[in-house]
Amino acid sequence: MIHRLMMTSACALAMALPGAAQQAADQVDPEIAVDLPAAFDGLSEAAAAAWASRSEGRPVEGERWMVAAQNPIAAEAGAQVLRDGGTAADAMVAVQAMLGLVEPQSSGLGGGAFLVWYDAETGEVTTLDGRETAPLAATPRLFQDDDGEPLPFWDAVMGGLSVGTPGTPALMEAAQRRWGRANWAGLFDDAIAVAEDGFAISPRLAGQIADDADRLMRFPETAAYFHPDGAPLAEGDLRTNPDYAETLRALAAEGASAFYRGPIAEDIVAAVRGAEGAPGLLSLEDMARYRVIERPAVCTDYRGAEVCGMGPPSSGAISVAQILGKLEAFDMAGMDPQAPETWRLIGDATRLAFADRGRFIADSDFVPVPVGGLIDPGYLAERAELLRREDALTEVPVGTPEWDHALLQASDTDPERPATSHISIVDADGNALSMTTTIESGFGARLFVRGFLLNNELTDFSFRSHEDGWPIANRVEPGKRPRSSMAPTVVLRDGAPVLVTGSPGGAPIIVYTATHILAHLDWGMDVQAAADMPQLVNAFGTYILEEGTWAADLAQPLEDMGFEVSIGPRPSGVQAISITEGRLSGGADPRREGIALGE
Ligand code: GLY
């Protein structure tokens, strides 16, 4: 049972923030759940305190280490590793192994992830790409019917066709080998124990199982796990997952190769190729060939801070940099966070960024991407000139960034679904890790193998391969990685990290991350207040304002400016840590089930 305390978060925040910024951080629900939901009974007092802290709009404070993850059981697994002297990379393995069990609908072994690492010893920022790959047998027409028309979205998602070669197990191993110091096998102990002893289904997971009942029932193994005895798992039900424990034991004993070769790989391929009514193309060769790729971090200056994140195949860092880079031309710190004019600027800066994203950004191993041109300060200043007006843009032109290629491409517009999970960690050595991890839509392809779900990441490709005869950069190609919006970010000042952030949520991830950075740097909100702030997202033309918050009150003024507006849920999931003069503050988005834990 969730106990509710009648206290507005505006009230709780009143002492923490200056005037307008404090009001802007007002939470979604005026009633705050202060106690941990019963599904998380048995966790530490620190977890309960962290939940209360989040509910009251206060960040969790620490001096040595901090972990913020989207589920309290997973955050605790990471905290234990950090308490025992492990690095952020060690803790990430424990958090991810647990998330795959207790939040299986969002991320796990069957998915992919991007990781940003700040190394305290060298001062360097490194990014690792653990994104899924399209099978070698895939063609640009993977998601088209016989007439070349795109398949209906859910027809493409469900079953084997959408499953890319998973990257998360390889990423966990690559990061831990490089930056970890703990015994690899021991990092799986907690998740194995919980998988065998059972965990209580959380409120959010229960809701999603109920909402997705028809799709989950389509495949027998998936139905048997989520609907045992024909009824959906409900909040508080105890669920064991011995198959997952066995999979983790194999990973613990043999490393990621146990996943990519041998019986686990064979079962994954069999499930994909044998999916009833929707067989896919994944092969044992695809599994065996999978590699994590180290890519150059995309870092840009924003008001003297350096914002670093993941480049292609993610559009995350480039698009965040484009939004912030255009807003830098305006006095955002002097603007009221609740004023329609403020959101006119942010909304149209976002639309312009998404216009470029749809035209230029894809897997740069397959198509040239003008990364330098897209984040060039001169180019962004030029684009910012388009925003010097009083009403909404009537046209949202694709830009002409400097580029050494003569290439004509068409734009794509396929949005992604709002699932995914985010992990932020700072360890006692001062290393910082930001990782966004996903199986794409909630419950991925709905195929359940060896205790985990398989991704539907390939639907992040453009279903259309061409438009008016011009190729689309993000078309399907064999071995290619689908464009992502995931934006794991580390912000540095004078070469040291000051903010570790990121969010789940599909294409709006870019906006959730950019506005979290903006609220913290420009409006002085702490990480929790910035995560609490209502969400307003305009990526593709319609301004979606978070229901039940002051954002909805901006509907009329934004409409008067010429925006198309709708009001609805905005399920961000920011998990973030700030570092100020050696002190750590952790925040977790109240829209999901995360907490920050630190000491
Ligand atoms: N599938 C979510 C993303 O990669 O953006």
Question: Ligand 1: does its nearest atom lie under 6 Å from the Cβ of 465?
Answer: no
Which are the contacts of 556, defined by CB distance < 8 A and separation ≥ 6? none
Beta pairing class for 60-62 and 32-33: unpaired
Q: Ligand 1 centre and the CA of 457: distance in Å?
A: 7
Question: Ligand 1: does its nearest atom lie under 6 Å from the Cβ of 438?
Answer: yes
- On whether the CB atoms of residues 56 and 42 are closer than 8 A, the answer is no
- Candidates 175, 169, 179, 182; CA nearest to 256 is 169
Q: Ligand 1 centre and the CA of 486: distance in Å?
A: 6
CA distance 96 to 437: 8
b (16+ CB within 10 A) / e for 383-408: bbebbeeeebbeebeebebeeeeeee
Q: How far is CA 292 from the centre of its chain?
A: 18
Q: Which amino acid would we find at residue 102?
A: V
Q: Ligand 1 centre and the CA of 410: distance in Å?
A: 21
Question: Ligand 1: does its nearest atom lie under 6 Å from the Cβ of 440?
Answer: yes
Mutation pick for ligand 1 pocket among 114, 457, 459, 512 (CB with most ligand atoms within 8 Å) = 457
CA distance 524 to 17: 8
At residue 301, what are phi and psi to the nearest 5 degrees?
A: -85, 135
Which are the contacts of 402, defined by CB distance < 8 A and separation ≥ 6? 370, 372, 373, 376, 379
The closest residue, in CA terms, to atom 3 on ligand 1 is 484
Work out the angle at residue 475's Cα, subtended by the Cα atoms of residues 96 and 174, and round it to the nearest 5 degrees.
25
Q: Ligand 1 centre and the CA of 99: distance in Å?
A: 17
Looking from the CA of residue 486, the nearest atom of ligand 1 is: 5
How far, CA to CA in Å, does 527 sit from each of 29, 68, 219, 523, 549?
18, 11, 41, 11, 19
Q: Is 420 a catalytic residue?
A: yes
Question: Ligand 1: does its nearest atom lie under 6 Å from the Cβ of 348?
Answer: no
3-state helix, strand, coil in the chain (%, to 5): 35, 20, 45
How far, CA to CA in Å, does 258 sit from each of 170, 244, 246, 251, 281?
10, 13, 11, 6, 21
- On whether the CB atoms of residues 119 and 433 are closer than 8 A, the answer is no
Work out the end-to-end distance of the chain between its first and last CA atoms, rounded to an integer number of angstroms: 28
**DSSP label of 129:** E
Predicted local distance difference test score (pLDDT) of residue 596: 98
Q: Which two tokens mark 186? A: 């021991």
Predicted local distance difference test score (pLDDT) of residue 405: 82
Tens of pLDDT, residues 54-81: 999 999 999 999 999 999 999 999 999 9
CA distance 34 to 4: 6
Predicted local distance difference test score (pLDDT) of residue 419: 77
Predicted local distance difference test score (pLDDT) of residue 33: 54
Given a cut of 50, the residues of the chain with pLDDT beneath it are 1-18, 25-32
CA distance 330 to 314: 27
Q: Ligand 1 centre and the CA of 466: distance in Å?
A: 22
Strands (E), 452-550: 452-453, 466-467, 470-471, 489-493, 496-501, 536-537, 542-546
Looking from the CA of residue 483, the nearest atom of ligand 1 is: 4
- On whether the CB atoms of residues 205 and 105 are closer than 8 A, the answer is yes
Of the listed 420, 437, 501, 515, which one is catalytic? 420
How far, CA to CA in Å, does 452 sit from each of 133, 268, 271, 563?
18, 10, 12, 42
Q: Which amino acid would we find at residue 513?
A: T
The closest residue, in CA terms, to atom 4 on ligand 1 is 484
- On whether the CB atoms of residues 433 and 423 are closer than 8 A, the answer is yes
Question: Ligand 1: does its nearest atom lie under 6 Å from the Cβ of 485?
Answer: yes
Tens of pLDDT, residues 117-162: 999 999 999 999 999 999 999 999 999 999 999 999 999 999 999 9
CA distance 594 to 505: 14
